[in-house]
Each structure stands twice: as structure tokens, then as C-alpha cells.
């Protein structure tokens, strides 16, 4: 039986009147936060890293996933592993570097040595241990309970009985494919990660990441900047649709006037940029046909994989995860993703777009952080106003990109998971 108060986990949904309301207490209540960590983050597939980050044997990165320290590596035999980054001897963190290349890992506390495949290789004073001490593997690094991959995106789960990753992703695979198919070889993480924190509930960033309704107001300064910069816009409307993909996953797909290094040219990129873009589109057309090539090249996508992976394929591609540390505090990691084979001009334009709009110091992120922190303060300081409205477009058969079907998809899954655990 969950300790979660029943009144907290009940959405107010009136299909006849096309109303969908979320209790604001779910953003501030400590018992909700604790239930989310136990019921959602402990029982869902969670993104851990991209294959390109550990492309060579021996490469590794360390991450924190749902409060656990993990070691994501490619061992010297070429296998990809995710280990719990804790020594089986006394629990110390085994690998304290954020990234690197290693054939072995040595725990600094008592000096136990583990191979890149996690196997215990050596122990100081091993003659004092019984014969066959590690015959059953109890001295090896512990693997994550579940680890699977889809098209270079690696996920782990702490529930060993969870459905397979392909089933979990379901309809979201269509949109991951549209991102990955931008490369004729493979996609790659470019550079390091962006990290920042904000004083807001994690679900606010979920909503914001797939919200097409706030762009023209919250990000008015960016749009004004583009309008005032000669050649920075294409004659393309900001229109599209939202879609509930099932299992809590959701997407908005839309056209927009900014440049896309994968296929949408803007005059500011000049004739060389135009030629490079056309070459990319011709390659996509040859591989996939004109219709799919145009969709890959010209359409933007904000994709949510429940509960906390966002892939935004817009003027650049960002892969973003975030974890709650308290009801009103979360930590964010974001990475730039790009076709491995793209040329210098495309890579330069992509990274400029990534930093200019999506970076912590860009046009979008500070706006979003400010808005979400103000929302959080509103929930904490005005408890008498008890509900958020997420009804926009509910009466429509097809949802526009500035409607809220994608947020309703997330909240419906969130509510269902917590409600099942409460009975």
C-alpha cells in the first residue's frame, strides 16, 4: 500500500466538457515526490547514454541515473555494459572519473581491481581469502538489472521484470528513427554535456519540453532576434500537430522558420550553405524517397520518452534528461547530437544553433527556467489556487502543436502508475 494520499493522485478529467486539470499539490508534496521515485523512476526504462560516447573498447562514462551512480562502458572485447558504480567489497565508488579509457578499474579504498568487463581481477592480500572466493561472481561489479539499446540510445531499468525496451518505446520509435536516419553512418554526441539545476518540480520541465503553446510569448525575444537578423528566417510558418504516442510518450512535430543544418536553408548561410544543404537533402532523398526525406529535413520534433528523456530535433538536436532531487529542485543534463559524417560548415552551424537557443546561456533556456521557477513559486505561495488547466485542444479531433495533448499523455500515464500503486 502506497503512502501517497489518494486525493493527490487524482486528476480532474471531464471528457464531456473537454476539461483536464492537474492538482498543483502534485508539484509540492513530499509524499508525491517519494512515490514518484519509487513507482516511476524505479520502474521505467531510463536513458543512460549514447553508443558514440563509448565508441572504442575501454571507453567509459559515469552517470547518476535515478539517484544511482552507474558506470557505462565498452569493455576491451567490445561489449557495452552498465555497472552499478559501487565496490562489492565495502561500497566505495569504484570509478571517480567522469569519462575516459581504461582496461581496469581500481577501487581507491582497499585496492580491489576490476576488469573492463566488471570481473574481479585482483585483491591486495588475496591469499587471506578462501579458495574460490569469487567462484559465484559475488566479487564482481554488479550489472544494472536490465540494460537494452535502441538505435544507439542505451537505457537501463531497475525493475528486472519490466517489459522489453522495444515494447516500452512503442510508437516513439518512429520519431527516434527520424532523428537517427539523418545520418548515413551513425549519430554521435558532440562535445561534452551541459549541466544546470533549477528550483522547480521535474514535471514542469517535462511539460515545457514538449509545449508548443509558450514559444511565441516566452521566447518572443528569440523570434524578434531572428526577425531582426538579416537572412535568419525562411518563409515557413510555425505550424504542426501534437500526438499521444502511448505509454506516456508524446511528440509535437512542426515546421518552423529557423535554419536546420540537416535540410532547411536560410539566406544567412549563403550560397555555400545552400549547396551543402541541397547535397544533404539529395542524399536523404536517395536513401528514403522524397516524402520521408522532406519530413526528416524540414520538420522539427520535440519528443518525450516517459518519464524524463527529451529529444528535441529543432534548429539543432539536443538529448536531455533530468532528475528530481526534491519536490522543488531538479538537475538537468543535455548533450548535442549530430550525424557523425557531417562537414565542418554543418557542424559549426549546428553548434551555433545549439548554444544560441538551447544552451544554459542561450535565448530559450533562461526564459524557460525563469518561467518554471515562477510557476513553482505560485504553487508554493498560493495554495488556494489548486489546479492547473491542461485542456487546450481537448475537443479537437486533430491536435495542433500549440494544443496540449502531449502533456495530457504524460499526465495520464503518471496518474495511472501512481494510482495502481495506491490500491
Question: Does 378 lie in the same domain as 256?
Answer: yes
Is the domain of 64 the same as that of 203?
no
Count the domains in the chain.
2
Rounded distance between C-alpha atoms, residue 273 and residue 295, angstroms = 20
pLDDT digits (tens, 9 = 90+) for 16-59: 999 999 999 999 999 999 999 999 999 999 999 999 999 999 99
pTM for the full model? 0.95
Q: Are both 175 and 139 inside the same structural domain?
A: no
Is there a domain that residue 3 lies in? no
* DSSP designation for 169: H
User: Is residue 33 a part of any domain in this protein?
Assistant: no
C-alpha pair distances (Å), 79 with each of 58, 148, 244: 10, 12, 35
Structural domain ending residue among the three candidates 134, 157, 180: 157
pLDDT of 2: 45
> 178-203 b/e with 16+ CB inside 10 Å = b?
bbbbbbeeebbbbeebbebebebbbb
**Per the domain annotation, does 26 fall within a domain?**
no
Q: Look at residue 14 and tell me if it is in a domain.
A: no
pLDDT score, position 1: 39
List, as one string, the DSSP characters of 9-42.
Answer: S--EEETTTTEEEEEGGGGT-HHHHHHHIIIIIT
Domain of 384, CATH number, reads: 3.90.380.10
| Domain carrying residue 125 | 46-157
Establish if 16 belongs to a structural domain.
no
Which residues are CB-contacts of 270 (< 8 A; sequence separation ≥ 6)?
none
Looking at residue 206, its pLDDT comes to 98
Sign for the pseudo-dihedral over CA of 200, 202, 205, 207: negative
From 129, 157, 185, give the residue that closes a domain.
Answer: 157
**Where residue 100 sits, what CATH number does that domain have?**
2.102.10.10
Angle, CA of 304, 142 and 97, to the nearest 5°: 70
pLDDT of residue 363: 79
Same domain, 84 and 187: no
Q: Please give the chain's pLDDT, 423 residues, in tens.
A: 345 555 556 899 999 999 999 999 999 999 999 999 999 999 999 999 999 999 999 999 999 999 999 999 999 999 999 999 999 999 999 999 999 999 999 999 999 999 999 999 999 999 999 999 999 999 999 999 999 999 999 999 999 999 999 999 999 999 999 999 999 999 999 988 899 999 999 999 999 999 998 877 888 777 777 777 878 889 999 999 999 999 999 999 999 999 999 999 999 999 989 999 999 999 999 999 999 999 999 999 999 999 999 999 999 999 999 999 999 999 999 999 999 999 998 998 888 888 887 778 887 888 999 999 999 999 999 888 899 999 999 999 889 999 999 999 999 999 999 988 876
Amino acid at each position: 500500500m502506497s503512502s501517497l494520499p489518494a486525493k493527490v493522485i487524482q486528476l480532474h478529467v471531464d471528457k464531456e466538457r473537454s476539461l483536464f486539470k492537474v492538482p498543483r499539490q502534485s508539484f509540492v508534496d513530499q509524499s508525491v515526490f517519494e512515490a514518484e521515485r519509487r513507482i516511476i523512476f524505479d520502474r521505467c526504462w531510463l536513458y543512460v547514454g549514447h553508443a558514440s560516447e563509448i565508441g572504442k573498447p575501454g571507453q567509459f562514462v559515469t552517470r547518476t541515473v535515478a539517484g544511482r551512480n552507474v558506470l557505462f562502458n565498452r569493455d576491451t572485447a567490445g561489449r557495452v555494459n552498465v555497472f552499478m558504480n559501487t565496490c562489492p567489497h565495502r561500497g566505495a565508488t569504484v570509478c571517480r572519473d567522469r569519462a575516459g579509457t581504461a582496461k581496469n578499474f581500481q577501487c581507491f579504498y582497499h585496492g580491489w581491481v576490476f576488469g573492463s568487463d566488471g570481473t574481479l581481477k585482483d585483491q591486495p592480500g588475496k591469499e587471506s581469502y578462501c579458495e574460490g572466493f569469487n567462484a559465484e561472481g559475488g566479487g564482481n561489479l554488479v550489472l544494472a538489472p536490465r540494460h537494452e539499446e535502441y538505435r544507439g540510445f542505451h537505457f537501463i531499468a531497475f525493475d528486472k521484470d519490466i517489459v522489453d525496451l522495444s515494447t516500452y518505446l512503442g510508437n516513439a520509435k518512429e520519431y527516434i528513427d527520424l532523428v537517427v536516419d539523418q545520418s548515413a553512418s551513425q549519430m554521435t554526441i558532440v562535445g561534452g554535456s551541459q549541466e544546470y539545476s533549477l528550483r522547480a518540480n521535474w514535471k514542469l520541465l517535462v511539460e515545457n519540453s514538449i509545449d508548443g503553446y509558450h514559444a511565441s510569448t516566452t521566447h518572443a525575444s528569440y523570434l524578434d532576434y531572428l526577425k531582426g537578423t538579416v537572412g535568419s528566417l525562411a518563409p515557413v510558418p510555425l505550424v504542426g500537430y501534437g500526438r499521444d504516442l502511448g505509454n506516456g510518450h508524446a511528440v509535437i512535430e512542426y515546421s518552423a522558420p529557423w535554419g536546420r543544418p540537416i535540410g532547411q536553408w536560410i539566406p544567412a548561410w549563403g550560397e555555400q550553405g545552400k549547396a551543402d544543404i541541397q547535397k544533404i537533402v539529395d542524399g536523404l532523398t536517395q536513401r528514403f524517397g522524397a516524402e520521408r526525406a522532406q519530413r526528416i529535413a524540414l520538420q522539427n520534433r520535440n519528443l518525450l520518452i516517459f518519464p524524463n528523456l527529451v529529444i528535441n530535433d529543432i534548429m539543432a538536436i539536443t538529448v536531455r534528461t533530468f532528475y528530481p532531487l526534491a519536490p522543488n529542485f531538479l538537475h538537468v543534463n543535455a548533450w548535442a547530437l549530430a550525424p557523425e559524417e557531417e562537414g565542418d560548415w554543418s557542424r559549426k552551424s549546428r553548434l551555433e544553433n545549439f548554444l544560441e537557443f538551447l544552451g544554459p546561456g542561450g535565448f530559450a533556456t533562461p526564459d524557460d527556467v525563469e518561467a518554471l521557477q515562477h510557476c513553482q513559486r505560485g504553487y508554493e505561495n498560493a495554495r488556494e489556487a489548486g489546479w492547473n488547466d491542461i485542456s487546450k485542444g481537448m475537443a479537437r479531433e486533430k491536435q495542433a502543436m500549440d494544443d496540449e495533448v502531449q502533456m495530457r499523455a504524460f499526465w495520464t500515464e503518471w496518474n495511472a502508475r501512481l494510482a495502481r500503486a495506491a490500491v
